[in-house]
Structure formats: C-alpha cells, structure tokens
C-alpha cells in the first residue's frame, strides 16, 4: 500500500518563503534539487516565473536530467501559465488559488462561482497546452465543504492529475469528525472522501499547531497519494511537514525502502548552511543531539546496547552518535570515553577513580560547571590526571 505513496518536496518553493532566510543562488538551488533527486524524492516544486533568479533556476533544474518530476508553481492566471510555458522541458504546473471564504472575500475579492470559473479556466488552459496539472486548494481546511467537493469533482472531470489539500494555517487535525471537529478540518475524513473522485490527492500541511507530520501520515493512510513537505520543515510562519520525518516514518512504520535516507543529514545541513538557518540541536533525526547521550542511565544503556535508547542507527540517516560527559553523567560513560583513547587501561586505575570523583563531586556536584565538556576539554582533563600525554 505505502510503496505507491510519493513525496512532493517544496523546499525550493514554500521553503524559500520562510521569513529571514538567505535566498540561495540558482546554482545552490540546483544542488538542493539534485540532492532531493538523489534521496529519491518523486517530485520537486519550484518557482519559475516570478523573477530572473527563478527563471534561471528553473532552466538549470529542468535541464539537469533529474529522475524526479519538476513542477512550476503558478497562480490561477493565464499570464503565469504562459510564462511557465516559455521554459524548455516544462511538463507540469501546480496552480494555486485560495478557496476559503475568508480568502475569497478579503484577499482576492471574488465569489465562490467566480473562484470556480477562474480555477477551471486556468486548469483547462494548462491542460490544453499539454501540461500535467495539480491544483492547490489554498486554505481548504477553512473552506466550505460542499464548495470544495464541487471544485474537486470539477477538477477530476477536467482531467487534472492531482488536487492538493492545503492546510494553509495548520488548522487540520488528525481526528475523525465529531461534534467538535467538522469534516473540512478532519484530515482522515476529508482525504478519505475526496479520494473517491478520479483524481490523485496530495496533502500539504503547515505546522502552526504542530500537526503537520502527523496530518501528512494520516492523509497517506486515508487515500492521499502525495505528501507535500520541505527539508527541515522550513516555510511560512511555523513551517511545513519535514521531508526527513515523513520519509523516515514511511520507512520505519510502513516498510517503504525506495528512498536513500543516509543522505538526509548532509542535505539538511546543506540547506541550513545555504539558507543561513540554524538546525535546532534536538531536531529529530538530523539534529546534533538526535543521537547524543549524556545522562548516566542513558549512556550506560547505549554503551551496553544502542537500541535501548536509539530507535534507528544514526548511520541510517547519515548522522553520528556522540557520548558526552556533563551534569548527571555516570562513571560508565567517563570510563568508556577514557578507553576510547587509552584502550588497555584498567578501569580500577586510581587515576580514573580520581578523575571520576573530581567530575562528579567537584566540577559538577558543586555546580562549578553546568554544561557538558567539549572533546578538547575532556582531553585536557585526562592530561591533568596523567591519563594521556
């Protein structure tokens, strides 16, 4: 079932709308696209019609011979589609238009009927020019349900390939309908119902309430073919569902093995460096602390058998394990780290006992030091206690 599911990465579209980032060059964007392709991402969404940098990027990526499909994001405007058609090798567009009443009234100032007409005209125009189309139902989790069903049926009848359920402000919830949860916000029930139409369903989740990854997985479980994601979850406001999290959930829980997760950490770090954003140390899978252990009980367990506190091997996602000495560290990790440098030393050596006593009862026990030791500091202590030269 899940091997047929696909990831549509929008790092180079929605991700680039993240406030405060450094805008990457066309060459840097190409490298990100190539990295996503190497991971096995099935579709990459990019800008291509706004500015020269977008057009230059699109030309580079479209001509790079990627296995991944490449879609150009456009508005539901004929001029936008014409601009996209000027790009060589273009095969598909993602046509975006809001469908919630709050957007129709306050942003684009049109009625529901006018909205349907505008979207269908744009979709038909793109189809007539040989493009595959996936239509973005912007803010559909706050849209009128009957109106959305009418739109999706119309899109299916026109021959659009995909309808994207856009949880634009992250109001969707991974729960079934109830007196408190209407169907427009119920991701499992909305996706299940819309999947009856002759059109693929994609889910694009924002993380304003922290549900983007869970909603993406629930959408895939209930009939969606595509999950729209970004590396590190970058994007507008609180961002999107993380590509790396959705991918590894598919691998771990559902046995999907068509991706190359060993590249995830390096790609995330490249995105971080290129866009000048910081990866939180405790970021799942790719953060530096994802496989770092410091407290006594945890380090003892990991030294004896890593699976006691590690769900996945760090190498599976291109990360690495670190064992630190700091507050609440036990003797086991201190001795372990010493033996990495002095393999044949007896753990009952008086110098080790003196060092452990100093760390636990002096340096940390009295609160003189409150943070973990760096590797350089740890080696300096070993020299101080004559354990290494």
Residue 383 is predicted with a pLDDT of 97
What is the CA 160 to chain-centroid distance, rounded? 26
Q: Are 47 and 72 in contact (CB under 8 A)?
A: yes
Residue 39 is predicted with a pLDDT of 99
Q: Are 152 and 190 in contact (CB under 8 A)?
A: no
Residue 273 is predicted with a pLDDT of 99
Instruction: For CATH 3.20.20.70, list the domain ranges present in the chain.
Output: 2-259
**Residue 260 exposed, middle or buried by CB count within 10 Å (0-12, 13-18, 19+):** middle
What does 101-151 look like in DSSP terms, one character per residue?
HHHIIIII---HHHHHHHHHHHHHHHHHTT-EEEEEEETGGGS-HHHHHHH
Q: pTM (2 decimals)? A: 0.96
Question: Which of the 8 DSSP states describes residue 24?
Answer: P
Cα dist. 195→136, 200, 219, 273, 298 in Å? 15, 7, 10, 39, 45
Residue 1 is predicted with a pLDDT of 75
Specify the CATH architecture of the domain 2-259: Alpha-Beta Barrel (3.20)
C-beta contacts of 288-292 below 8 A and 24+ residues apart: 288/322, 290/314, 290/317, 290/319, 291/319, 291/320, 291/321, 291/322, 292/321, 292/322, 292/323, 292/324
**Residue 86 exposed, middle or buried by CB count within 10 Å (0-12, 13-18, 19+):** exposed
Nearest-Å Rg of the Cα atoms of the chain is 25
**CA dihedral of residues 102, 104, 105, 110 (deg, nearest 10):** -170
Beta bridge partners of 227: 7, 203
Residue 232's closest CA among 201, 191, 273? Answer: 273
Residue 50 is predicted with a pLDDT of 86
Residue 247 is predicted with a pLDDT of 99
Q: Give the chain's residues under pLDDT 70.
A: none
**What whole-number distance in Å separates Cα of residue 333 and Cα of residue 324?**
8
């Amino acid at each position: 079932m899940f091997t047929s599911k696909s990831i549509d990465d929008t790092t180079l579209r929605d991700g680039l709308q993240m406030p405060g980032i450094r805008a990457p060059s066309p060459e840097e964007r190409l490298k990100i696209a190539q990295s996503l392709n190497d991971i096995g991402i099935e579709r990459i969404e990019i800008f291509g019609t706004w500015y020269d940098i977008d057009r230059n990027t699109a030309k580079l990526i479209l001509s790079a011979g990627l296995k991944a499909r490449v879609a150009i994001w456009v508005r539901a405007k004929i001029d936008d589609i014409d601009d996209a058609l000027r790009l060589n090798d273009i095969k598909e567009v993602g046509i975006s238009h809001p469908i919630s009443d709050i957007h129709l009234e306050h942003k684009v100032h049109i009625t529901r009927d006018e909205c349907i007409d505008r979207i269908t005209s744009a979709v038909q125009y793109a189809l007539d020019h040989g493009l595959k189309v996936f239509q973005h139902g912007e803010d559909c989790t706050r849209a009128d349900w009957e109106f959305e069903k009418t739109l999706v049926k119309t899109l299916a009848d026109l021959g659009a390939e995909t309808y994207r359920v856009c949880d634009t402000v992250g109001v969707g919830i991974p729960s079934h309908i109830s007196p408190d949860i209407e169907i427009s916000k119920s991701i499992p029930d909305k996706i299940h119902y819309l999947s009856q139409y002759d059109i693929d369903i994609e889910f694009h989740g924002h993380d304003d309430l922290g549900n983007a990854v869970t909603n993406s997985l629930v959408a895939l479980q209930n009939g969606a073919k595509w999950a729209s994601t970004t590396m590190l979850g970058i994007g507008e406001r609180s961002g999107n569902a993380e590509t790396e999290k959705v991918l590894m959930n598919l691998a771990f829980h559902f046995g999907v093995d068509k991706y190359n997760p060993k590249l995830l950490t390096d790609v995330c770090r490249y995105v971080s460096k290129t866009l000048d954003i910081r990866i939180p140390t405790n970021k799942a899978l790719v953060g530096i602390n994802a496989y770092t252990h410091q407290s006594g009980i945890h380090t003892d367990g990991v030294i004896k058998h890593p699976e006691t506190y590690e769900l996945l091997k760090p190498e599976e996602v291109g990360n690495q394990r670190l064992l630190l000495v700091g507050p609440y560290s036990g003797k086991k990790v201190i001795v372990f780290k010493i033996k990495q440098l002095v393999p044949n030393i007896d753990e009952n050596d008086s110098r080790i006992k003196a060092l452990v006593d100093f760390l636990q009862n002096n340096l940390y026990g009295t609160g003189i030091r409150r943070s973990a030791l760096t590797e350089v500091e740890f080696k300096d202590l070993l020299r101080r206690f004559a354990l290494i030269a």
